[in-house]
Amino acid sequence: MRGSHLSRTRTLTTVLALAVAGTAVLSGCGQKQQTVGSAPPPKKPDAFEQRADQIVRHWPKVSPVTGRQQALLPLAGADRPKGKDVREITVTVGHSACDVDFGARGHESKDLVVITGWGKRKSSKGMCTEQLATDKVKVRLKSALGDRKVVDAATGKELFKS
């Protein structure tokens, strides 16, 4: 009996060690084993997420982005929220007339809401005028705006100064 208990303890220890490492070895009927990971690797932050994190860390000492990036288009304006309890901000996105899609997105922290415009261009083949188009877009917030400042990710400037 003592040998049987020792074998079970080793097996349990091995299973626990593999579970802690984020991996499990599964076996069923037969001799095949399958290794299963616990979660996919984290997604690398995109240009906007990196910029928003930078603004949150260094606020208010933030410089504008150099050059024009499709993921960080400057906002052409914004409608002042009607109160602190709003959960939506309307911004005017300046994008290319050749964009097939455009919009705005936000990043929220305890003190800031960082917003950017974005655009997706047609294929590079063919003619495209370089005129600016503007459209109003709503950005939904996870929580009420409250006393947080709203910042344009491309320019690093506060949108609604008191």
Is the pLDDT at 91 greater than 90? The verdict is yes
Q: What is the pLDDT of residue 100?
A: 84
Highest-pLDDT range among 2-6, 70-74, 138-142? 138-142
Helix and strand tally (H, E) in the chain?
A: 2, 8
pTM of the model: 0.71
Is the pLDDT at 21 greater than 90? The verdict is no
Is the pLDDT at 18 greater than 50? The verdict is no
Residue 67: pLDDT band with limits 50, 70, 90: confident
Between 3 and 93, the higher pLDDT residue: 93
Q: What percent of the chain has pLDDT over 90?
A: 52
How many C-beta atoms lie closer than 10 Å to residue 50's C-beta?
13
Residue 131: pLDDT band with limits 50, 70, 90: confident
Q: What is the pLDDT of residue 5?
A: 47
Q: Angle 146-149-155 (CA atoms, 0-180°, nearest 5)?
A: 155
Cα 15 from Cα 100, distance rounded (Å): 52
Which whole number is the average pLDDT over 63-72? 89
Q: What is the pLDDT of residue 161?
A: 81
Between 144 and 45, the higher pLDDT residue: 144
Residue 133: pLDDT band with limits 50, 70, 90: confident
Cα 98 from Cα 72, distance rounded (Å): 16
Cα 92 from Cα 157, distance rounded (Å): 15
Cα 115 from Cα 93, distance rounded (Å): 10
